[in-house]
């Protein structure tokens, strides 16, 4: 079976007004549009073969926004929507091609060097090997969505609250301050 894993990602880690136009465009080119182009390149072969699996690695930031990730979060919200719409389109076509969207919290790859988590037992910085194993199991199990850690599954439930309460909950768990000490790869 052919498997396409769209895992390209880039982050500026800057407040919106500190991001140049080129940086914002680059974020969307890499985090969103690259997924469109690769799927358009590989999906015809998968459809012809009658099998395949497309994995979109988004982010927990595609489920809940945070400061210093405005461009990144917006691009990952787009990636989540891309996967959902593609899944619906494939179902309508009666296609056996599957999709999986992956929404992890921060992964310890260096891309988010310096991020902090207030409650590591609830929102740990994930290890790459663990994430890969979980993605492989999700593919093998034809799961449509993989959100990790499990605590991130509470985001849709909390989202039903009025915005001021939603913001307060994210604030309590430290999500809105997680990028305060961010340095990333490029700034080292």
The pLDDT profile of the chain, 188 residues, written as one tens digit per residue, is 799 999 999 999 999 999 999 999 999 999 999 999 999 999 999 999 999 999 999 999 999 999 999 999 999 999 999 999 999 999 999 999 999 999 999 999 999 999 999 999 999 999 999 999 999 999 999 999 999 999 999 999 999 999 999 999 999 999 999 999 999 986 54
Domain chopping of the chain, boundaries: 3-177
Residue with tokens 């799927």: 39
Q: Could you give the CA distance from residue 95 to residue 110 in angstroms, rounded to a whole number?
A: 38
Dig out the tokens for 117 from the structure: 């988590």
Catalytic residue among 13, 35, 69, 72: 72
Residue with tokens 């400061």: 67
Among 12, 7, 47, which Cα is nearest to 31's? Answer: 7
Angle at which helix 70-93 crosses helix 34-49, to 10 degrees, equals 20
Tell how far CA 75 is from the center of its chain.
Answer: 9
Annotated catalytic residue 130: no
Among 104, 117, 103, 105, which Cα is nearest to 182's? Answer: 117
pLDDT at 188: 46
Q: Which helix (H) or strand (E) holds 3?
A: strand 3-6
Q: Domain 3-177 carries which CATH code? A: 3.40.50.720
Do β-strands 3-6 and 98-104 pair in parallel, antiparallel, or remain unpaired?
unpaired
């Amino acid at each position: 079976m052919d498997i396409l894993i769209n895992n390209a990602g880039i982050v500026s880690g800057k407040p919106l007004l500190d991001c140049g136009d080129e940086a914002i465009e680059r974020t969307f080119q890499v985090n969103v549009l690259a997924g469109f182009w690769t799927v358009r390149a590989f999906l015809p072969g998968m459809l012809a073969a009658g099998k395949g699996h497309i994995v979109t690695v988004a982010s927990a930031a595609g489920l809940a926004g945070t400061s210093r990730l405005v461009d990144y979060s917006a691009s990952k919200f787009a990636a989540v929507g891309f996967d959902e719409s593609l899944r619906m389109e494939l179902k309508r076509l009666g296609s056996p091609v599957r999709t999986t969207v992956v929404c992890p919290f921060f992964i310890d790859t260096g891309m988010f060097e310096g991020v902090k988590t207030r409650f590591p037992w609830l929102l740990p910085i994930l290890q790459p090997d663990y994430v890969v194993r979980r993605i492989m199991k999700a593919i093998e199990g034809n799961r449509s969505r993989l959100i990790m850690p499990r605590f991130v599954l509470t985001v849709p439930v909390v989202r039903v609250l009025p915005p001021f309460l939603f913001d307060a909950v994210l604030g309590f768990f430290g999500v809105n301050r997680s990028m305060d000490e961010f340095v990333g790869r490029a700034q080292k």
